[in-house]
A and B are shown apart, each in its own frame.
Chain A
Amino acid sequence: GAVVSQHPSRVICKSGTSVKIECRSLDFQATTMFWYRQFPKQSLMLMATSNEGSKATYEQGVEKDKFLINHASLTLSTLTVTSAHPEDSSFYICSANSQGATGELFFGEGSRLTVL
């Protein structure tokens, strides 16, 4: 299967700081990537769809100014959690589709954010 790499895997930051998470497709080009958030023992929640060269599409209830997404190339999307607060502590996972609109999603390793 296709490889999606995410970095960092774990990050701890102080409240009020910003944190950037990178998502890379290593062996394919991804015009679209997806960002999910998962709280403990809960299901995946789609936050936004990242589109190469254009603005991201955010799901209802997700603050676009809080979660900045940049998809500057066909292999890299970044999620920046701005002015992080303890309630932003979560497991953030990116995914990409390597086979067109109906193909499988491949996930990055995930990034566990802890805001103190």
Chain B
Amino acid sequence: QKEVEQNSGPLSVPEGAIASLNCTYSDRVSQSFFWYRQYSGKSPELIMSIYSNGDKEDGRFTAQLNKASQYVSLLIRDSQPSDSATYLCAVNSGGYQKVTFGTGTKLQVIP
């Protein structure tokens, strides 16, 4: 069983719609959760971090965490073509060597 699982996609949404990206993780002691955006040929860029259950909003982005279900999601409102990228879910279970990345979900926002 993979430690951090994401649907590889591609997830296609029309411009202006809400994109919903999901991630599950296996380690119950995980403490920190991150979403990174990676454009093709570029390195990952941190867009959201979340540490406690519930929602965290930052502009058009909302991260949602449910530790009981071991589930973290990212919602992108008013999706733009520039949001088209691969989104990586990352989970830190404590300690410098325990950041685990999912394989990423490719998002395509159709103009």
Chain A interface residue count, CB cutoff 8 Å, equals 23
Is A32 in the interface zone, CB < 8 Å from B? yes
Contact A101 B43 (CB under 8 A): no
Select A102's contact among B31, B43, B88, beta carbons within 8 Å: B31
Given contacts A103-B32, A107-B43, contact A43 B96 (CB under 8 A): no
Contacts of B95 in A (CB 8 A): 101
Q: Which of A32, A43, A49, A103 has the most B CB atoms < 10 Å from its CB?
A: A43
Is B34 in the interface zone, CB < 8 Å from A? yes
Select B46's contact among A32, A44, A105, beta carbons within 8 Å: A105
Is A57 in the interface zone, CB < 8 Å from B? yes
Contact A93 B92 (CB under 8 A): no
* Smallest CB separation, B75 vs chain A (Å): 20
Is A88 in the interface zone, CB < 8 Å from B? no
Q: A residues 59-116 with Cβ under 8 Å of B?
A: 91, 93, 97, 101-110, 112
Q: How far is the CA of A1 from the CA of B48 in the complex (A)?
A: 11
Contact A110 B42 (CB under 8 A): yes
Q: Name the CB-closest residue of A to B90.
A: A105
The range of chain B's interface size is 20 to 34
* Smallest CB separation, A73 vs chain B (Å): 17
Q: How far is the CA of A5 from the CA of B51 in the complex (A)?
A: 27
Given contacts A49-B97, A102-B92, A103-B32, contact A43 B102 (CB under 8 A): yes
Residue-wise, chain B 76-111 has the 8 Å CB interface mask toward A (1 for contact) of: 000000000000101010111101011110000000
Contact B99 A105 (CB under 8 A): yes
Residue-wise, chain B 24-62 has the 8 Å CB interface mask toward A (1 for contact) of: 000000011010100001111110010100000000000
Contact B42 A57 (CB under 8 A): no
Task: For the A-B complex with A101-B92, A101-B94 known, give 20 more contacts whose Cβ atoms are closer than 8 Å.
Answer: A32-B96, A34-B99, A42-B103, A43-B103, A43-B104, A44-B88, A44-B101, A49-B97, A57-B97, A93-B44, A97-B99, A104-B32, A104-B46, A104-B49, A105-B90, A106-B46, A107-B45, A109-B42, A109-B43, A110-B42
| A residues with CB within 8 A of B | 1, 6, 32, 34, 42-44, 49, 57, 91, 93, 97, 101-110, 112
